[in-house]
Chains A and B, each alone.
Chain A
Amino acid sequence: MILHLHRMKNLFLSIFFVGSFYVNYAQLQIISGSAVAPPNYEWMAGLSYSYDPYDQFCGGALIAPDWIATAAHCMEGETVSGIKIFFNAYYLSQPVTGYFTADIDTFYIHENFNNTTYDNDIALIHLRIPVTAVPPIRIARTAETELVDSGKVQKVIGWGKLKKFAQGGSDTLMEAEVPIVAQSICNTPNSYDGEITNNMLCAGFMAGGSDACQGDSGGPLFSVDSNGNEVLTGIVSWGNGCGDKNFPGIYTKIQNYLPWIEDFTGKLSKINSIEANNTKVYFSNNVLNVSSKSLLQKIEIADATGRIVEQFQSFDSNNIQVPFHHANGMYFAKIFSNYLSQTTKVFVHQ
């Protein structure tokens, strides 16, 4: 009986102490950044258990009109019909104009994801209908090592917890700046003690401070390239606590997975013809064909990383055929016409 009371006393003491910490941490916002103002980061996707954004459980990044990159642990055990994707929901309780949802066609979890070591925490979601309303974010190329150099400031966004001991997530999409911390520092015994693999990025503050938290998983860590464009460098994965001293956030280093991503998206995208917004794009015999009800003015062709490989302009025609001699793979066509300011199409050159 005494031991039982002792157990109960421990329980109450635990609750008391946790409560005390809660009061202390209430002063400290883990994502100590600011609310994201629409229409920034339109490529930010929310993963929800239903059409209700309040059922949001993870984030993701639109990396191609029909592909979303997220964390493997967000998708493990899930079903295609069990998840809805949403865009432009800056405030979950009051999504802004332009909010829309998308259905999943299929998804792929990295075959070497390890939920004990958290290594290879990446998954790809293929959307049933490509998203043309918002542009995707490009993934950092393997050669762009400067984007993830130690000290390079990144941004992380999500609807996760604002405080370590908060019970739920944020209603507002939040952003915070987190610098890259060298792997050697994060792997010291007083930090993650060797747990950080070469497939992970460590970002945040050794002294504690801004960080991602529960609910942010799968969301983007991104930087800005020399042209001022956002570039995806990581995926929110895990961390000891949130914003704790000696424990910055840990992200999947997406640069390491470019071949895996391109392999998947290249093989599985069956789209070599797409028709939307009165514009049809298709590829045949090394010729790109575009037909539209409006006058075409300019076409930009970008590869899977977002790099523009071809540019054609001044057609003033409804139908055009342009030669295309590039390596097989997935490309995006940005189409400018007198009717539509910009439309993104995807096709596969096979």
Chain B
Amino acid sequence: MRGSFLIITLLFLSFSAFTKPKESTSIKEENKKCWVEDSVKKLRYMPKVLLNKNKDWKPENTEIGFQISSATLSGKKKNSLETKVKYGGGCRVHSFQLIKPIQASKDTLQLYLVHESDNDMCRAFVMNEIKFNVSKLKLKKNTKVIMLNNFQVK
């Protein structure tokens, strides 16, 4: 009896170890929640920013080598997040993506702006204004502060 229990336990553990986790559907669902589609607005410069609408897109080189000079919520329903960014490069198309992780604080919403430079090794500064449609974020009424990286959204 004890032996058969051990065999069953071992079989169960082996089965668990070789079975793929069931996260695939969860990933899609979470991606729908976390990856926000967006648009770009030209700011005295050709639109070198292409905003990736692929929900499964993941930057290979997550960089913080850019500067946020402003970030504001605009529109009647405060559905538009407009941010001005400055980054190094000038020769390649850069991508920006807005990420909303699982909210930890009740009154603070932390958002992340992720930058991918496509290995741009040029040494100019580029300034762009990026506009995100944040209507899908469904901002909670009790959210008092919105942070974009370390920049407080106004």
Contacts and interface: CB of A to CB of B under 8 A. Distances in A.
A49 B90 contact: no
A74 B67 CA distance: 19
Contact of B46 (A18, A77, A236): A77
B107 interface: no
Nearest to B121: A238
A49 B62 contact: no
Nearest to A55: B127
Contact of B121 (A10, A78, A79, A118): A118
A79 B30 CA distance: 42
Interface in A142-200: 160-161, 165, 167-169
Given A4-B27, A4-B31, A76-B90, A215 B66 contact: no
B127 to A, nearest CB: 6
Contact of B62 (A14, A213, A236): A14
Contact of B26 (A1, A82, A212): A1
Interface string A47-78: 00100000111100000000000010110111
Contacts of A236: 123
B53 interface: no
Nearest to A241: B121
B83 to A, nearest CB: 14
B124 to A, nearest CB: 4
Interface residues of B, number: 37
Given A74-B124, A237-B122, A1 B99 contact: no
A213 B125 CA distance: 10
B86 A168 contact: yes
Given A74-B90, A77-B48, A169 B23 contact: no
Nearest to B69: A168
A15 interface: yes
A99 to B, nearest CB: 20
Nearest to B123: A217
Nearest to B85: A167
A115 interface: yes
Contacts of B48: 77
Contacts of A168: 67, 86
A115 B127 contact: no
Give the interface centre of A1, A55, A121, A216 by most chain B CB atoms within 10 Å: A1
A11 B62 contact: yes
B75 interface: no
Interface in A274-292: none
A128 interface: no
Nearest to B34: A4
B21 A217 contact: no
Contact of A213 (B44, B66, B67, B123): B123
Given A161-B88, A215-B123, A8 B101 contact: yes
A214 interface: yes
Interface in A1-52: 1-4, 7-8, 10-11, 14-15, 18-19, 22, 49
B91 A214 contact: no
A171 B46 CA distance: 26
Nearest to A83: B44
A73 B122 contact: yes
Nearest to A54: B69
A218 interface: yes
A3 B27 contact: yes
A86 B41 CA distance: 27
A95 interface: no
Contacts of A82: 44-45
Contacts of A22: 64
Contacts of B86: 167-168
Contact of B65 (A76, A165, A238): A165
Contacts of A71: 90, 122, 124
B114 A11 contact: yes
Contacts of A218: 124
Nearest to B102: A8
A3 B20 CA distance: 12
A115 B88 CA distance: 15
Given A2-B21, A213-B123, A217-B90, 16 more contacts: A1-B26, A1-B27, A2-B23, A4-B23, A7-B58, A11-B101, A18-B62, A49-B44, A57-B125, A76-B46, A76-B90, A115-B91, A121-B122, A160-B125, A161-B88, A168-B67
Interface of B: 21, 23, 26-27, 30-31, 34, 44-46, 48, 58, 62-67, 86-92, 99, 101-102, 112, 114, 121-127
12 contacts: A1-B30, A8-B102, A56-B125, A57-B125, A77-B46, A78-B45, A116-B91, A118-B122, A167-B64, A168-B86, A169-B125, A216-B123
